[in-house]
């Protein structure tokens, strides 16, 4: 560990958003966890995480989030977890440029945690393989492993079993109704559908799937219902995860941008391209070449 070069300059890394293109709940296990099927779609848009190694062993979050203590920040938890698991004496200074809404169902905090784990695993020279990182990540949140894996995948189990899937290139308008939905409340609800028949990865078709949480959420959150109602006039639209964000699927960037321009100002949104691989994967491949390819 002593030969690690201490970085004096903060470098910025992609921390992309994801969408659940569909979400089927196929059962409930005796430990209370739900059996799911979903497609995790990586996007070209997200937060950025700045990381520099320090020799002090301290983990410092340089950009506090209002209402979230440093120790409760998922980026901090990820760094502390990796530090403990690998017994490194090095620390890190971490900054986050937030662009993704918290509690939006598009993976903001989980993606931040995955970026921290992947980058510090390299910068601290911990040498953990992706499987070990995913195991650590799963203790932080169910969505963390998909960002460590870094590819658009068909997922099942509690969301931790991944299968390759090839999808046509699409553009997405992701819109935020600006309300917060507690995932735990959705999954605890007695009205939630829990018996959707499983599908095979090769049979996946967007039009033949749905989000099993959507009806429940739109019953309880009129903001989500209103946003969905507005979007479906323009393109096929669906809620992602347990919400609150909703997405529409377009064949071209220009169609998606045009619809975004018309989005009423009470809502916010962004346009992103669906990617087969997370932009973090490409950035990480440059570490050994002496350049961390900062994101713009």
| CATH number of the domain to which 246 belongs | 3.30.70.890
Same domain, yes or no: 186 and 101: no
Domain that holds residue 265: 171-275
Look at residue 280 in the predicted model and tell me its pLDDT: 97
Look at residue 160 in the predicted model and tell me its pLDDT: 78
Lowest mean pLDDT among 64-68, 134-138, 237-241, 278-282: 64-68
What are the CB-based long-range contacts (under 8 Å, 24+) for 290-294? 292/11, 292/13, 294/11, 294/12, 294/13
* Number of Cβ atoms within 10 Å of the Cβ of 258: 14
Instruction: Tell me the pLDDT band of 4, cut-offs 50, 70 and 90.
Output: very low
Please state, in angstroms and rounded to a whole number, the distance separating the CA atoms of residues 179 and 66: 17
Q: Which residues lie closer than 8 Å to 207 by C-beta, 6 or more apart? A: 236
Mean pLDDT, rounded, for 146-169: 94
Is residue 5 situated within a structural domain?
no
Catalytic-role residue among 18, 77, 170, 212: 18
Could you confirm whether 143 is annotated as catalytic? yes
Residue 131: CATH number of its domain? 3.30.230.10
Is residue 294 situated within a structural domain?
no
Half-sphere exposure of 172 (CA within 13 A, CB side): 27
Question: H or E segment at 147?
Answer: helix 144-149
Same domain, yes or no: 85 and 194: no
Same domain, yes or no: 156 and 285: yes
Residue 235, CA distances (Å) to 39, 232, 256, 260 in order: 19, 5, 9, 12
Same domain, yes or no: 58 and 185: no
Same domain, yes or no: 102 and 128: yes
Look at residue 183 in the predicted model and tell me its pLDDT: 87
Same domain, yes or no: 62 and 156: yes
Please say if the pLDDT value at position 292 is more than 60: no
Instruction: Tell me the pLDDT band of 291, cut-offs 50, 70 and 90.
Output: very low
Q: What is the mean pLDDT of the chain?
A: 93
Catalytic-role residue among 5, 47, 77, 143: 143
Please say if the pLDDT value at position 106 is more than 80: yes
- Scan for tokens 């007695």, then name that residue: 190
Instruction: Tell me the pLDDT band of 8, cut-offs 50, 70 and 90.
Output: low
- Phi/psi for 27 (5° steps) reads 170, 175
Q: What are 10-43's pLDDT values in tens digits?
A: 999 999 999 999 999 999 998 888 999 999 999 9
CA angle, residues 248, 253, 257, in degrees to nearest 5: 70
Same domain, yes or no: 38 and 175: no
186 neighbors 179 (Cβ within 8 angstroms): no
Please state, in angstroms and rounded to a whole number, the distance separating the CA atoms of residues 62 and 81: 18
Same domain, yes or no: 114 and 20: yes
Is residue 37 situated within a structural domain?
yes
Same domain, yes or no: 82 and 184: no
Is residue 251 situated within a structural domain?
yes
Bridge partners (DSSP) listed for residue 183: none
Is residue 179 situated within a structural domain?
yes
Same domain, yes or no: 156 and 29: yes
Count of structural domains, the chain: 2
Could you confirm whether 219 is annotated as catalytic? no
Look at residue 288 in the predicted model and tell me its pLDDT: 61
């Amino acid at each position: 560990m002593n030969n690690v070069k201490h970085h004096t300059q903060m470098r910025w890394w992609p921390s992309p958003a994801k969408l659940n293109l569909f979400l089927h709940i196929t059962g409930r296990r005796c430990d209370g966890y739900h059996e799911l099927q979903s497609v995790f779609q990586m996007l070209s848009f997200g937060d950025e995480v700045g990381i520099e190694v320090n020799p002090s062993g301290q983990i410092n979050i340089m950009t506090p989030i209002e209402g979230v203590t440093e120790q409760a920040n998922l980026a901090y938890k990820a760094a502390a977890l990796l530090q403990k698991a690998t017994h490194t004496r090095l620390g890190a200074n971490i900054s986050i440029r937030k662009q993704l809404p918290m509690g939006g169902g598009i993976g903001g905090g989980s993606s931040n945690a995955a970026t921290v784990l992947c980058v510090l695993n390299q910068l601290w020279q911990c040498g953990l393989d992706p499987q070990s990182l995913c195991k650590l990540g799963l203790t932080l949140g169910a969505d963390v492993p998909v960002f460590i894996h870094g590819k658009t995948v068909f997922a099942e189990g509690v969301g931790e079993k991944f299968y390759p899937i090839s999808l046509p290139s699409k553009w997405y308008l992701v819109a935020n109704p600006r309300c917060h939905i507690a995932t735990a409340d959705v999954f605890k609800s007695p009205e939630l559908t829990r018996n959707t028949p499983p599908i095979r990865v090769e049979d996946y078709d967007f039009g033949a799937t749905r989000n099993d949480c959507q009806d429940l959420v739109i019953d309880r959150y009129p903001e989500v219902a209103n946003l969905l109602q507005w979007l479906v006039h323009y393109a096929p639209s669906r809620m992602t995860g347990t919400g609150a964000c909703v997405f529409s699927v377009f064949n071209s960037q220009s169609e998606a941008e045009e619809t975004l321009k018309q989005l009423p100002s009470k809502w916010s949104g962004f346009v992103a391209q669906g990617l087969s691989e997370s932009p973090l994967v490409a950035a990480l491949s440059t570490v050994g070449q002496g350049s961390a390819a900062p994101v713009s």
